[in-house]
A and B are shown apart, each in its own frame.
Chain A
Amino acid sequence: AQSVTQLGSHVSVSEGALVLLRCNYSSSVPPYLFWYVQYPNQGLQLLLKYTSAATLVKGINGFEAEFKKSETSFHLTKPSAHMSDAAEYFCAVRVISSGSARQLTFGSGTQLTVLP
């Protein structure tokens, strides 16, 4: 079965500092991995996704993530945090269930706080 684990339910960084949000996956098949962001009082929106092409994936708003098979990780990074990055971030993995139905399974989320 495929799953993701997000390490750290809350992360605080200073404005201008590096952002690192951790996600580890478990998958018996080559995974498709996603990062979504949820701003206050809004739905989730896609930041970036990995679909077995380049291992370094660039997304919106200066975020990127690197797929590391040896570490089963897909951590999200941004070199310099901005106040507007404060939000909740979710890692997700594509799951192939019985009958080949494809869904996403989400991690529990990481709340990012950016300090002035």
Chain B
Amino acid sequence: DADVTQTPRNRITKTGKRIMLECSQTKGHDRMYWYRQDPGLGLRLIYYSFDVKDINKGEISDGYSVSRQAQAKFSLSLESAIPNQTALYFCATSDGRTDTQYFGPGTRLTVL
């Protein structure tokens, strides 16, 4: 089984809808991250969490919110989706010692 899983893998939605992307990990890591990937822009950090009670904004948090339900679960929400949030979204984890991040397979989100 994969160490970092994301659901759904693909999602098409309409402008104004609320969307939740979920991430689960079995690596036992404290730190979790949400990124979006756009062609030519690489990965940009949306939010990160270093433990269940710690949530921090990243480079591009506007229009997004997160919830750390447990050490193993970190969800990303789009309260009112807009077309420029169409992107590939990745969840990642790290243990804080090595700074190496481990990525999920991604969620492709399309907002019409």
Is the CB–CB distance between B40 and A43 below 8 Å? no
B-facing residues in A59-116 (Cβ within 8 Å): 90, 94, 101-109
Contacts of B58 in A (CB 8 A): 103
Q: Give chain B's interface secondary structure class.
A: strand
Stretch from B12-20, B62-70, B100-108 at the A interface: B100-108
Interchain Cβ contacts under 8 Å between A and B, 25 examples: A34-B100, A36-B103, A43-B4, A43-B90, A43-B103, A43-B104, A43-B105, A43-B106, A44-B43, A44-B101, A49-B99, A51-B98, A90-B42, A90-B43, A94-B99, A101-B56, A102-B99, A103-B33, A103-B48, A104-B99, A105-B45, A106-B35, A106-B42, A108-B41, A109-B42
Where the two chains meet, the residues of B that have a C-beta atom closer than 8 Å to any C-beta of A are: 4, 33, 35, 40-45, 48, 50, 56, 58, 90, 92, 96, 98-106
